[in-house]
Amino acid sequence: MGSYVEACKRSLTIQTENRAMKRRLRDHPTSRSRRGEISVFSYGSRRRLIKVLWNNAERFKYFFTITYRQNEQRCKITKQHLDYFLTRFRKACGSDVGFVWVLEFQKRGAVHFHIWIDPFCVYEFDKWKGMRVRRQVQLRFKDSVEDLMRFKFLTYLWLKVSGQLEDEKALKAATDLRVISSNGFIKSYAVKYGSKLEQKQFAGTVDVSTGEIIDTWVGRFWGRARCVRNVTWISSDDIQDVRTMRRWMRSFCGKKGFSGTWMLWNVKGEERVKRISEQIRLERFVRNWVDADGKRN
């Protein structure tokens, strides 16, 4: 919980140590307890999601939505289906293809997932290359046969692992694929998912016969592939680096006493933070340089 600074490609995080809070947390009787079950889409989780999406905006090219035709509300079952889907996807396309998934609940209570995906290659085989798709999708990808094949491939994988492959109605309504044409699409959705909470609240799985809530487990609201990481320019817990960045923000950005995560929504902000990060690395090198006599200069 100490002070640190982390400058990424499109985000800047500055955290200052709150010694009073640190002491209270250390002395609290539950300080050594394990992390409890996830029950809400917390503010910290939302900020981390925005940070990952916006720092990797240029790599994602496809936006895939998957759901159930039936009103499936059991999060444990849906998470198993998602895990099977992503496992088969990695085996078919390679572990270097990145993705970020987000869980949401529809108005009827059914679970659905949004997935941002890197460009990937698919290989035809008889089980899915002749799959019928709705006319709307055919018109959307009429100029791109490759994207149409990607849609069929992803749809087949999801319907296979979720047990909906024989459901004709699920073929028309359980999946959707969009091609991302600009970073602005990622930005708008990053802000959207960072602010809206109405589709992240889960009341629990209800027994239809008795109306009793039988399960309230949700688990994680989002996740990412291991290859999806924030491009970091500097990451330091040196108090001098933290003070340098805070002074810079106060002088050039007018943010006095800033502590938290600042998203860089324009190129000018990115260039400024990159430049000050290079200066901090240079200052750190000079500060830690040792001459031939063993004296620190």
Tell me the pLDDT tens digit for each residue of 48-61: 888 899 899 889 99
CB atoms within 10 A of CB 245: 23
Which of these three, 224, 245, 264, is where a domain ends? 224
How far is residue 181 from each of residues 146, 156, 266, measured CA to CA in Å? 16, 24, 18
The predicted pLDDT at position 206 comes to: 53
Domain end marker among 190, 224, 258: 224
- Domain contains 36: no
- Residue 71 shares a structural domain with residue 218: yes
Task: Outline where DSSP puts E strands in 89-238.
Answer: 99-105, 111-117, 175-179, 205-206, 213-215, 222-224, 232-236
Q: What is the pLDDT of residues 2-52, one digit of tens each?
A: 788 999 988 899 888 765 545 554 555 554 545 566 767 888 888 888 889
Same domain, residue pair 80 and 189:
yes
Q: Measured between alpha carbons, how far is 187 from 266 in angstroms, rounded to an integer?
A: 11
Provide the residue range defining the domain that includes 113: 57-224
Same-domain check for residues 268 and 200: no
User: Is residue 219 domain-shared with residue 243, that is, in the same domain?
Assistant: no
Distance of CA 277 to the CA centre of its chain: 25
Candidates 131, 89, 130, 132; CA nearest to 113 is 89
Whether residue 116 sits in one domain with residue 80: yes
| Higher pLDDT, residue 110 or 288 | 110
For residue range 181-236, what is the model confidence (pLDDT) as tens digits?
888 888 777 777 656 665 566 655 555 455 455 566 778 889 999 999 988 999 98
Q: Is 133 among the domain residues?
A: yes
Total structural domains in the chain?
2
Whether the full predicted model's pTM is greater than 0.75, yes or no, is yes
- The tens digit of pLDDT for each residue in 236-286 reads 888 888 888 888 888 888 888 788 888 887 888 888 889 999 888 888 777
